[in-house]
């Protein structure tokens, strides 16, 4: 059974300038034991989506089903059930860990959140968790400030795993770490997937890193999923021009404008950024009307992800022919971060 099903989810924040639609009609699925990567630049709505899944962002409309049942619910019971099944690790472990608690205390507290463990069982569980995330048992007595950034993030991961969740949401968990440490943490993630059969939503802005740990990848752009596919297919034949741009890391690609209702842009600029009903990428798109004047459909009609092409879907009126090589040439199979 599909562990997580998200259907037509819209998340709307109440910002200082009015409502901000951070997630706009997103649908996705994560089967048990599988990892979906979610990639997109800063501000595309990744964290809003992740947080909505655990009740931390305001869901405006749409459905979230966990184990086939509605995941929402404000009752204590509903929240506990959600907390037991889904755990989140965020980018910044400093804010996530209690600075006054040792690693041992943090992990023991989490391990006993949903079940009773006697003293020896608790100690054994803490040792097992440290081992899972590749931390030296000697570190159990330390406080967060006595650990490195990478070690702190491993503690945060271990704490999330302590409740044995079915789904782990990892939101930019390596983004604040040094490159060499990132690689090691990514390898730990792969190890956890194998050992625990854990399902994950792995969020990041670095496409190779996300692909490295994901069975399938969804590409997010300004609140929408513009392309989703099994990882190998996405790398071999990316269909959305935005995905191709990400893969090619085109140096000149300007950052995306904020969502249309995020800031009081001058009207003309707002319209250019988000043509009413059109594709959000149109103004910047290399295959869109900026280069091909006759392609007015891009600014007139919102492209829908092609249901017929499942599991590889791209929301584009003029998806590049998958057989013509894009700007991206897949290199040898091993991403850079395989080194450690």
Ligand X SMILES: Nc1ncnc2c1ncn2[C@@H]1O[C@H](COP(=O)(O)OP(=O)(O)O)[C@@H](O)[C@H]1O
Q: What is the binding site for ligand X (CB under 6 A)?
A: 13, 15, 20, 22, 40, 42-48, 258-259, 262
Q: Encode burial over 280-301: b for 16+ CB neighbours within 10 A, e otherwise.
A: bbbbbbbbbbeeeeebeebbee
CA distances from 229 to 37, 42, 79, 279, 308 (A): 10, 21, 31, 20, 13
Alpha carbons 278 and 146: distance in angstroms, whole number: 51
Stretch near Mg ion under the rule CB under 5 A, chosen from 47-55, 79-87, 135-143, 322-330: 47-55
Q: Which one, 56 or 113, has the nearer CB to ligand X?
A: 56
Q: Which of 44, 47, 57, 174 binds Mg ion (CB under 5 A)?
A: 47
Q: Which is nearer to ligand X, 140 or 168 (CB)?
A: 168
Q: In whole angstroms, what is the distance from residue 97 CA to residue 99 CA?
A: 6
State the Cα–Cα distance between residues 311 and 328, nearest whole angstrom: 21
46 vs 313, beta carbon nearer Mg ion:
46
In angstroms, what is the minimal distance from the CB of 47 to Mg ion? 3
Binding span for Mg ion by CB under 5 A among 13-21, 38-46, 187-195, 251-259: 38-46
- Work out whether 44 is an interface residue with Mg ion (CB under 5 A): no
252 or 255, CB closer to ligand X?
255
> Would you give the distance in Å from CA 324 to the centre of its chain?
29
Planar angle of CA 170, 155, 179, nearest 5 degrees:
65
Q: Rounded to the nearest whole angstrom, what is the least distance from the CB of residue 175 to Mg ion in the complex?
A: 9
- Give min distance, CB of 42 to ligand X, in A: 4
Degrees, nearest 5: CA angle 158-191-329: 125
Q: Which does 45 bind (CB under 5 to 8 A by kind): Mg ion, ligand X, none?
A: ligand X
Residue 31 touches which of Mg ion, ligand X, none (Cβ within 5-8 Å per kind): none
How far is C-alpha 267 from the geometric centre of its chain's CA atoms?
Answer: 32
CB under 5 to 8 A by kind: which of ligand X, Mg ion, none does 22 bind?
Answer: ligand X
Binding site for Mg ion (CB under 5 A): 46-47
């Amino acid at each position: 059974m599909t562990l997580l099903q998200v259907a037509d989810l819209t998340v709307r924040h109440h910002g200082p300038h009015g409502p901000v639609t951070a997630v706009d009609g997103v649908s996705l699925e994560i089967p048990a034991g599988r990892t979906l990567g979610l990639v997109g630049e800063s501000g595309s709505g990744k964290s809003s989506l992740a947080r909505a899944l655990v009740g931390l962002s305001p869901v405006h409309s749409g459905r979230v089903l966990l184990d086939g049942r509605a995941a929402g619910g404000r009752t204590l019971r509903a929240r506990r059930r959600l907390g037991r099944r889904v755990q989140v690790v965020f980018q910044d472990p400093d804010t996530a860990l209690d600075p006054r608690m040792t690693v041992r205390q943090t992990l023991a507290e989490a391990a006993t959140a949903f079940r009773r463990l006697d003293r020896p069982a608790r100690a054994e569980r803490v040792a097992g968790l440290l081992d899972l995330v590749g931390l030296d048992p000697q570190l159990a007595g330390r406080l967060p400030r006595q650990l490195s950034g990478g070690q702190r993030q491993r503690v945060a991961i271990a704490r999330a795993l302590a409740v044995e969740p079915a789904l782990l949401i990892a939101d930019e968990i390596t983004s604040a770490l040094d490159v060499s440490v990132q690689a090691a943490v990514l390898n730990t993630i792969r190890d956890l997937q194998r050992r625990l059969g854990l399902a994950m939503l792995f969020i990041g802005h670095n496409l190779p890193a996300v692909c490295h740990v994901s069975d399938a990848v969804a590409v997010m752009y300004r609140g929408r999923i513009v392309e989703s596919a099994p990882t190998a297919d996405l790398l071999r034949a990316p269909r959305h021009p935005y995905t191709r741009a990400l893969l090619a890391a085109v140096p000149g690609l300007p950052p995306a404008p904020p969502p249309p209702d995020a800031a009081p842009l001058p009207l003309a600029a707002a319209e250019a950024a988000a043509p009413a009903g059109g594709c959000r990428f149109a103004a910047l798109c290399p295959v869109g009307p900026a280069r091909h004047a006759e392609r007015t459909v891009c600014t007139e009609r919102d492209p829908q992800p092609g249901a017929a092409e499942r599991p590889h879907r791209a929301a584009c009126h003029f998806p590049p022919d998958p057989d013509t090589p894009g700007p991206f040439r897949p290199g040898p199979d091993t991403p850079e971060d395989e080194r450690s």
